[in-house]
Amino acid sequence: MSDVPKKLYIKTYGCQMNVYDSERMAEALGGQGYEQVDSPEGADMIVLNTCHIREKAAEKVYSELGRYKGLKAANPDLKIGVAGCVAQAEGAEIMRRQPMVDLVVGPQSYHRLPEMEAKARSGEKALDTDFPEELKFDHLPKGRKASRGPTAFLTVQEGCDKFCAFCVVPYTRGAEVSRPVSRVLREAEGLVEQGVREITLLGQNVNAYHGQEGGEDWGLARLIRRLAEIDGLDRIRFTTSHPNDMEDDLIAAHGDCEKLMPYLHLPVQSGSDRILKRMNRGHTAQEYLRLIERIRAARPDILMSGDFIVGFPEETEEDFQATMDLVEAVNYGQCFSFKYSARPGTPAAERPLVEQAAADDRLQRLQTLLTTQQRAAQDAMVGREVGVLFEKAGRLPGQMVGKSDHLHAVHVQCDLPVGTLARVRITESGPNSLAGELL
């Protein structure tokens, strides 16, 4: 093997779990002599880490692959891989439709990448979309990259057993699995040694976390409280949660664990009980609202965030109004909303779509309301004192940018280094960020 590092380009689509996975893949291939680069030109290996959650995801992947034809023609040694949820859903079909793909790897098999890469290098096609018994993260090579920013993701749980009628996750990521407590703690401690001050715990259903330690079952709240004991770790967040797994001790942690940040992403998808039932969400709108009351009783200034789907099969104008009413009742600080997209293989994909013009119109009305709430929550921060963890220099000279406790981007004129957690008074609220001054 030559000493010159081979160049690896990874393009990541979709959720934060994919961002985390891409980092792990880069590390796994680092052991094979690869160094990550920012552009596909001149790369020795290109990996697309794909997402299958909405809209024509597979088509986007095929058209992106098409763009690499010239690169492959110029460099026959270039290896091309497809990873992530489209790889899981499409499998060998990807190589049939796009023969220049050398490697297809599903989200549960990344620890097998080094062998797969070697196989691809020898000229064979490599395909792995198994759900192996071993947990991929615990079989990936140790030693994370040397330099990193002050925030990091840490996946603690993967997969989902909820089977919401619209969602591909239970099929692409498989059954719910939690990583052992000791592994999570070791990884968190390693990150803090590298200068990380904020960790976001990730999982498709992160609040269903149930790790084992000392013969006991650890829920997410206990894990968070244990992580909070790590010196040098200042902030803990977690995402994404399901309302039905929001246990009492996790709600309580929002009130009494200082390092747990006052922001909670708790998707409800719809405000109509009829639609919630058809979505197989397992709770009513009233139960969700009651839950939010309890969370706010524990942490009054918590900023709520959520996801909504409009135009789910059979959604009527009345159902949609119930969603708007729920949004009014909750008053979100931030939200993501999507038009329903039929995902092959899910139960809802068999049902007739609502009229698309109506769905588009509902999405627009919902987004208008959500944007108003988001802006109001941001404006309400003006005059308040918040913590800001600086992540990078701002666009203007002498300016730093970081995130507040409530996850707002905040610009501050100062020369404090990246990684500083400062107290800041918010002075202004702009369209997408706040401005403040050091206290």
β-pairing, 6-12 with 34-36? Answer: parallel
The residue within the footprint of ligand 5AD, chosen from 129, 194, 341, 367 (CB under 6 A), is 341
Residues 70/36, Cβ–Cβ less than 8 Å: no
Decide: is 246 part of the binding site for ligand SF4 (CB under 6 A): no
N-terminal to C-terminal alpha carbon distance within the chain: 55
Residues in contact with ligand SF4, shown as a per-residue x/- string from 140 to 179 under the rule CB under 6 A: --------------------x-xxx--x-xx---------
Decide: is 84 part of the binding site for ligand SF4 (CB under 6 A): no
86 or 227: CB nearest ligand SF4: 86
45 binds, among ligand 5AD, ligand SF4, none (CB under 5 to 8 A by kind): none
The residue within the footprint of ligand 5AD, chosen from 54, 72, 183, 226 (CB under 6 A), is 54
Strand partners, 79: 45
- The rounded distance, in Å, linking the Cα atoms of 374 and 194 is 34
Piece of 22-30, 72-80, 334-342, 372-380 that binds ligand 5AD (CB under 6 A): 334-342
What is the signed CA dihedral for 327, 329, 335, 339, rounded to 10 degrees?
-10
Query: Least distance in Å: CB of 247 to ligand 5AD?
Result: 20
Query: Least distance in Å: CB of 162 to ligand SF4?
Result: 4
Decide: is 205 part of the binding site for ligand SF4 (CB under 6 A): yes
CA-nearest of 386, 392, 393, 425 to 407 is 386
Decide: is 242 part of the binding site for ligand SF4 (CB under 6 A): yes
Decide: is 417 part of the binding site for ligand SF4 (CB under 6 A): no
Decide: is 351 part of the binding site for ligand 5AD (CB under 6 A): no
Residue of closest CB approach to ligand 5AD:
307
Residue with tokens 């592994």: 183
Neighbours of 39 (CB within 10 A): 8
Decide: is 167 part of the binding site for ligand 5AD (CB under 6 A): yes
Residues in contact with ligand 5AD, shown as a per-residue x/- string from 275 to 314 under the rule CB under 6 A: --------------------------------x-x-----
- Positions that interact with ligand 5AD (CB under 6 A): 53-54, 166-167, 267, 269, 307, 309, 338, 340-341, 343
